[in-house]
Amino acid sequence: MKAQLYYLARKIFSQELRNKLKVYQYDLKKKVAPVREKVYGNFTTGDLGKELKKKLPDNFDVLMVHSSHSAMLPMYTGNLRELLDMLLSICANDRTLVMPAFFFGERKYHYDLRKYFTDKPYFDKDKMPSQMGMITEIFRKYEGVKTSLHPTHRISALGPKADELIKDHELCKTGCGQGSPFDKMSSMKTVILGLGTKYYQCMTQTHSVEDVLIEKGTYPTTFESIDIPITLKYNGDEEFKYLLMHPDKSEYQRKLHPMVRKVLSKEDLQEWKFKGVPFFYAWAGAVQQKLIKAALDGQSAYSK
């Protein structure tokens, strides 16, 4: 039911109105916070760490984290730095922690990339903040973290596979396609973890499936491509000329939930709630392989 309401809102309301509704929803959640806290109780960072260690599989090398700190409140009593430290402890020295550091323009442009980059055709990798929540920005600035060079789908990584993941992202035709960090994660033992969010709201690995097949011309839905020239800045004064191939999906409605649940098993994707907060984990390889197979069989997440 929540998935259907989510898709319905995306279909009916503009991005600007959805942003206003999110603010209203946030204000409403603050008002009912005492009730939710009384119903579900509280949990600390230590409690969450124990829950994740109990739920997550043992045999992974990369942990890709999508999160919504606000969605975990007021039940979660820890702070963002504690949350990051806990995730780093799960990865320790032999695993790689990855987070999105995406950038999708500015609110005054209604997050229209074409309009934004037409006015401001440059992207400074080191200075532009992540728009994926404060924890992703804290992680981006964390000592030793490497970031990929890409104007929209930049990632941050720390660990043994960080260099391999970020390498040559600027040479990719699309943000999530062939050779991107998401394409690479699908061939590694990568667990995608959702904290306080549902997979159909955030799992970028599904876009990797689309981008890979769009580049090959084999995705069942055809999109017009908008090519956007951008100057990428990095390491202070170095520059790279990049042509962003941005598939125009504005005429389509994306409904991921029914297709994913049809093709992925419970071992591939697990969802649960802890103290009223939604969590999920999925294997990136299974997401990539099975959704590519479904797409090649004619199944698309998009409709007019």
pLDDT at position 259, please?
85
51-76 residue pLDDT tens: 999 999 999 999 999 999 999 999 99
Phi first, then psi: what are they for 113, rounded to 5°? -65, -35
Give the torsion sign (CA, 171, 172, 178, 181). Answer: positive
Please state, for a pLDDT cut of 90, what percent of the chain lies above it: 77
* Residue 279: per-residue pLDDT: 98
Q: What is the pLDDT of residue 14?
A: 60
Q: What is the pLDDT of residues 261-271, one digit of tens each?
A: 899 999 999 99
| pLDDT range class, residue 7, cuts 50, 70, 90 | very low
First to last CA, the chain: 22
Q: What are the tens digits of pLDDT across the range 214-251?
A: 999 999 999 988 899 999 999 999 999 999 988 888 88
If we measure between CA atoms, which residue out of 228, 229, 233 comes closest to residue 125? 233
Residues whose CB falls within 8 Å of the CB of residue 74, separated by 6 or more in sequence, listed in order? 33, 34, 36, 37, 42
Structure tokens at 64: 């890709």
- The domain spans of the chain are 41-303
